[in-house]
A and B are shown apart, each in its own frame.
Chain A
Amino acid sequence: MEIFGIPLAAFLGQLLLGLVNGSFYAMLSLGLAVIFGLLNVINFAHGALYMMGAFLAWMGLQYFGISYWVMLLLAPLMIALFGMVIERSMLRWLYQLDHLYGLLLTFGITLIIEGVFRSFYGVSGQPFAVPPQLAGATDLGFMMLPIYRAWVVVASLVVCLATWFVIEKTRLGAYLRAGTENPRMVEAFGINVPLMVTLTYGFGVALAAFAGVLAAPVLQVSPLMGSNLIVTIFAVVVIGGMGSILGSIVTGLALGVIEGLTKVFYPELSSTVVFIIMAIVLLVRPAGLFGREK
């Protein structure tokens, strides 16, 4: 069976891969948006921390025999801690200044992290085996469904929706939303806003690291995997606008799928289609699809 001249199985396979990439886009742009909302900083280091998450998973397995499942929890925790140290020691001095300094600082941190990893591991990727419990594929009749890729999409959706729920529906999320709007007032109520800021940064980068661990068996674990991704994430965030959580998630997934489909029908455009869409959105709806001009 064929769709526009492409065999159905191959088409659906690419669609799934698009969903996988879209899941990463969603999780990373979500983390970026949450951090930006409260800190007013664009965390350029998001890509590098995603890479570190993947590398920690690889190093855990390679050097200490720690399983993927443990690293799925451990890597985000370690990166959260690392991120909180960065926020406490460096980022917090810049809050009173122009936003661009936050971007420049996190850019510098990105270069340091990538430089260090490159000096030890070069630029080529390290392979990471799919964990045995998720290996193989099931036959759905119209296509073969690689179990690991389905797992990535499901796990990402669960984490993203859980994040959405916490932020929109819980008391803790109310603190975050109120803090994004008027942090001084929230402090006047007795809430330790500086601590909340630190924890939020930690959470945002933990999301990135979680995405990194998920990505390790799908992509190659390389010091450059973050920088390849981060600029696309910026485009995703400009397209979606950073005003709504669900907006970020939907935009990320949609763009991943569109990119995947482009790879099938117009492969030469696939690396630039997200940017082209960004240009169109800027012409038609500058605030972003779900955004409120900040």
Chain B
Amino acid sequence: MTLALEIKGLQAWYGESHILHDMNLSVAQGEVVTLLGRNGAGRTTTLRAIMGLTGRRSGSIKINGIETIALPTHRIAHFGIGYCPEERAIFSSLSAEENLMLPPTLTAGGMSVDEIYQMFPNLEERRSSQGTRLSGGEQQMLAVARILRTGAKLLLLDEISEGLAPVIVQALSRMISTLKAKGYTIVMVEQNFRFAAPLADRFYVIEHGHVVAQFNANELSTKTDELNELLGV
């Protein structure tokens, strides 16, 4: 079965800054993979590079077996990828509902608006409010909800638990479990190890723009020392 995502020898720049050096990772269909690492390691840049949002890129990024390294950003989304950026990127000139409806439907099988409002009743309540008037937690839910609507089955989630109240983080955790059960493929960047650990199948540790370690979920207990050293916690 083709890998959902296969990255080989990826290099990426922002202008003159060379951020990713020889990045290699792969994600199977239905897997949940977490990218760990210190700030500035290149985890967010990896997600952005997949979407074509960095400067120059070289190497290979295959999505469902198809090479996308040379494609412009707006074509990459059509491979069924949903990207939820670290800054959430809720549009202030749109209402909450307009934000939700903005991304075009990429393939069939996405959640319907009703299903989304069932999962996130707050969003229905606040749907006419200006996008940025929502609370941090609501904006995060909106950012995830809008890509669920599109039918994207490969989700790139960047720090979705950051800065949120524990009760909301739990709700997000449940949501990811549900999506995982439905067969979604998810790549998460997470600082919050306790959030990521129970959800992920595999972990990559990234440092200075390339992978320095990877391990499975069941190796976690044996690797805690190594992890602590790598993450400098």
Contacts and interface: CB of A to CB of B under 8 A. Distances in A.
On whether the two chains bind one another, the answer is: yes
A115 to B, nearest CB: 37
A164 interface: no
B148 to A, nearest CB: 13
Contact of B104 (A184, A189, A194): A189
9 contacts: A171-B101, A175-B102, A177-B93, A177-B94, A181-B91, A181-B93, A182-B91, A188-B74, A191-B104
Interface string B80-96: 00010100010111100
Contacts of A194: 72, 74
B98 interface: yes
Interface string A180-192: 1110111111111
B92 A191 contact: no
A73 interface: no
B64 to A, nearest CB: 15
A206 B85 CA distance: 36
B150 interface: yes
A192 B78 CA distance: 11
Interface of B: 51, 53, 72-78, 83, 85, 89, 91-94, 98, 101-104, 106, 150
Contacts of B85: 185, 188
Given A189-B104, A189-B150, A190-B106, A184 B73 contact: yes
Contacts of B89: 182, 185
A191 B74 contact: yes
A178 B74 contact: no
B53 A177 contact: no
Contact of A184 (B53, B76, B101, B150): B53
Contacts of B53: 184, 187-188
Interface of A: 171, 174-175, 177-178, 180-182, 184-194
B216 to A, nearest CB: 30
Nearest to B84: A188
A174 B104 contact: no
Contact of A190 (B77, B94, B101): B77
A189 B102 contact: yes
A186 B102 CA distance: 8
B93 A187 contact: no
A174 B103 contact: no
Given A189-B150, A190-B74, A193-B74, 20 more contacts: A171-B101, A174-B94, A174-B102, A177-B93, A178-B91, A181-B92, A182-B89, A185-B85, A187-B53, A187-B77, A188-B51, A188-B53, A188-B73, A188-B76, A188-B85, A189-B102, A190-B77, A190-B150, A192-B74, A194-B74
Most buried by A among B78, B83, B93, B101: B93
A187 B73 contact: yes
A177 B94 CA distance: 7
A186 B93 CA distance: 13
Q: Which 3 A-B pairs have the closest CB atoms?
A: A190-B77, A189-B103, A187-B73
Contacts of B77: 187-190
A164 to B, nearest CB: 14
Nearest to B104: A190
A178 B93 contact: yes
Nearest to A185: B89
Contacts of A178: 91, 93-94, 102
A145 to B, nearest CB: 39
B69 to A, nearest CB: 16
A192 B72 CA distance: 9
A61 to B, nearest CB: 42
Nearest to A193: B74
Contacts of B76: 188
A188 B74 CA distance: 6
Nearest to A195: B74
A262 B92 CA distance: 40
A192 B73 CA distance: 8
A177 B83 CA distance: 20
Most buried by A among B51, B77, B89: B89
A182 B92 CA distance: 10
Contacts of A177: 91, 93-94
Contacts of B103: 189-190
Most buried by A among B74, B76, B103: B74
Nearest to A196: B74
